[in-house]
């Protein structure tokens, strides 16, 4: 891999360690228990972390280079082959920026938190460093440690500040995610010790090891399960609606804006990049699973009467496009998957923040108990409308561009037969049709449905506050900016995506197996498909 090592500040290490160090200072902030001083301190740390990541991008990152940049390496536990190795490329740099941006807004969204504020903001800041580490580390064993680091804060944020079923939701989350993480550890150890000699878990070393196809298939299956839980992929998704159903608004923003993207990033980094032969055989499965995500979650969201769960299933549906993009063998489709992760991170965070703000006023999540509040909350209605239009992929918004790139990239991907492409595109289009139906009907029911007189007469039913308008405005600026000029983001990762796709296409060409009908390349057959040869 092409590599650029700079002599600049250790930007990435600083972006990881600074919020974690800030978190450990939180208990020493003088505060009367209401959180007024702590929240300002946490906001300052989160904003400083965001500026550090911006500084890393502005001073040390060159989008035209496909390889690793901003590299930092320190020998940590040499006997175990574990090094502090961080760096960034096109797959990680945009998500590092997204993480620090969403976390800063989540801290601002947590302004009303008054119950155990020090512990709350300690966990938020610790998560900030841990999630940036997931995208920045370049050592698979270190990646596993960073992946595990963010589990405990999410568990506590759900278990302490969640709703009535918070213990159930938090326990289900930790069982699913911690249990699936064992597959990451097993795969990391297997790949690091592969070939004998001293173990080494660095991505650049693993990429050059030349794993045989059988070994790749085993690792791919384990990693697909682990990352499929976090993405999430149906049927490994059931923890997400429960977690969202009990979470508070800032935790919603972190779950939808960052946590789900960790699964998509890991699929690109490990399954597609480090295991290209296995990816060439499993890519059709990813596409089929993506279609299942889109249709199943859209239909389920359509039937939900709980506002949080409706938006949660909508998130699962939108992540199906990420799977289709990763499963395609075109640079356009894979680039669309990357943009969809960024776009959904922004849109999902905005919608879930509005869910929390609406609940604070109505004290209900049941759609049938809402209605007729549009006249008293006109600004809130406008914010809901714009964010919902972004979610349903209105032209001019980031969601439209990302989904269009995925569709166009897959439909023009000649690795698959025309029949397979048409069938998949037609099925995925069902989700595109359902999305505006359930989102617009949701808006109608909340704001202009049958009037709940008791709710409408409530004096606490106030319109959007300046802080809330500011948070949504900060999210809408990149959503609309990307929608109008996608190159604002796509240029930052195009070189890395093209190198990744080139590696996967080369793996297809080198496989010497009978062909399945969905592929034009006669040297490739998915391991899970039994079909006659193409004549």
Chain centroid to CA 330: how far?
Answer: 21
Q: In residues, how long is the chain?
A: 535
Q: Where are the domains of the chain?
A: 279-529
Which residue stretches of the chain have pLDDT < 50?
A: 1-7, 512-517, 519-535
What pLDDT does residue 34 have? Answer: 74
Alpha helices in 137-275 (DSSP H): 140-149, 151-161, 166-193, 203-207, 213-230, 239-246, 249-254, 260-266
pLDDT digits over 196-220, tens only?
Answer: 778 889 999 998 888 898 999 999 9
Report the SS3 class of residue 236.
coil
Element (H, E) at 194: none
CA–CA dist 512, 61 (Å, integer): 39
CA–CA dist 178, 281 (Å, integer): 27
CA–CA dist 43, 13 (Å, integer): 20
Report the SS3 class of residue 83.
strand
pLDDT digits over 240-295, tens only?
Answer: 999 988 899 999 999 999 999 999 999 999 999 999 999 988 999 999 999 999 99
Whether the link from the prior residue into 232 is cis, omega within 30° of 0, is yes
Instruction: Give me the half-sphere count of Cα atoms (radius 13 Å) on the Cβ side of residue 524.
Output: 25
Q: Locate tokens 């972004």: which residue?
A: 390
Longest distance between any two alpha carbons in the chain, whole Å:
77
> 92 is written with which tokens?
């990680």
**Beta-carbon count within 10 A of 54 CB:** 15
Residue 392 sits at φ, ψ, to 5 deg, of -85, 10
What pLDDT does residue 517 have? Answer: 45
What pLDDT does residue 460 have? Answer: 67
Report the SS3 class of residue 137.
strand
What pLDDT does residue 6 have? Answer: 46
What pLDDT does residue 459 have? Answer: 59
Close Cβ partners of 304 (under 8 Å, ≥ 6 residues apart)? 310, 313
Sign of CA dihedral 172, 173, 178, 180: positive
What pLDDT does residue 488 have? Answer: 92
Burial class (CB in 10 A: 0-12, 13-18, 19+), 37: middle
CA–CA dist 411, 106 (Å, integer): 37
């Amino acid at each position: 891999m092409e590599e650029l090592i700079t002599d600049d500040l250790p930007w990435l290490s600083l972006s990881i360690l600074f919020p974690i160090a800030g978190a450990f200072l939180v208990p020493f902030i003088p505060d009367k228990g209401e959180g007024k001083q702590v929240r300002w301190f946490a906001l300052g740390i989160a904003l400083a972390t965001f500026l550090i990541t911006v500084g890393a991008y502005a001073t040390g990152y060159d989008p035209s280079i496909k390889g690793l940049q901003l590299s930092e390496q320190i020998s940590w536990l040499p006997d175990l082959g574990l090094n502090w190795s961080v760096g960034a490329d096109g797959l990680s740099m945009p998500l590092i920026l997204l993480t620090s941006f969403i976390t800063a807004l989540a801290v601002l969204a947590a302004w009303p938190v008054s119950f155990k504020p020090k512990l709350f903001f300690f966990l938020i800041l610790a998560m900030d460093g841990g999630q940036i580490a997931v995208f920045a580390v370049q050592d698979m064993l270190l990646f596993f440690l960073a992946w595990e680091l963010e589990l405990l804060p999410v568990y506590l944020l759900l278990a302490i500040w969640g709703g009535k079923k918070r213990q159930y939701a938090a326990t289900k989350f930790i069982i699913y995610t911690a249990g699936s993480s064992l597959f990451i550890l097993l795969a990391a150890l297997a790949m690091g010790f592969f070939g004998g000699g001293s173990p080494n878990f660095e991505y650049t070393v693993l990429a050059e090891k030349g794993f045989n196809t059988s070994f790749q298939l085993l690792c791919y299956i384990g990693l697909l399960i682990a990352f499929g839980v976090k993405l999430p992929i149906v049927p490994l998704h059931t923890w997400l609606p429960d977690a969202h159903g009990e979470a508070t608004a800032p935790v919603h923003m972190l779950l939808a804006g960052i946590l789900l993207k960790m699964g998509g990033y890991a699929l690109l980094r490990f399954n597609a990049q480090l295991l290209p032969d296995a990816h060439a055989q499993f890519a059709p499965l990813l596409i089929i699973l993506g279609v299942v995500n889109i249709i199943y979650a859209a239909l389920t969201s359509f039937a939900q009467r709980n506002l949080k769960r409706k938006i949660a299933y909508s998130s699962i549906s939108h992540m199906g496009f990420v799977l289709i993009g990763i499963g395609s063998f075109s640079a356009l489709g894979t680039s669309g998957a990357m943009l969809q992760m960024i776009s959904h991170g922004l849109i999902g965070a905005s919608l879930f923040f509005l869910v929390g703000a609406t609940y604070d006023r109505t004290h209900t999540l049941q759609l049938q108990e809402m209605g007729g509040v549009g006249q008293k909350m006109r600004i809130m209605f406008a914010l809901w409308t714009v964010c919902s239009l972004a979610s349903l992929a209105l032209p001019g918004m980031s969601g439209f561009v990302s989904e269009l790139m995925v569709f166009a990239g897959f439909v023009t991907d000649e690795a698959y037969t025309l029949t397979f492409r048409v069938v998949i595109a037609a099925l995925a289009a069902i989700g595109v049709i359902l999305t505006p139906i359930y989102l617009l009907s949701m808006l109608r029911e909340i704001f202009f449905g049958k009037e709940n007189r008791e709710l409408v007469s409530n004096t606490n039913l106030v319109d959007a506050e300046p802080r809330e308008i500011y948070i949504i405005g900060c999210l809408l600026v990149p959503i609309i900016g990307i929608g109008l000029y996608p190159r604002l983001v796509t240029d930052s990762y195009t070189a890395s995506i093209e190198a990744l796709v080139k590696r996967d296409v080369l793996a297809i060409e080198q496989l010497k197996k009978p062909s399945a009908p969905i592929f034009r390349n006669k040297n490739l057959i998915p391991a899970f498909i039994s079909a006659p040869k193409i004549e």
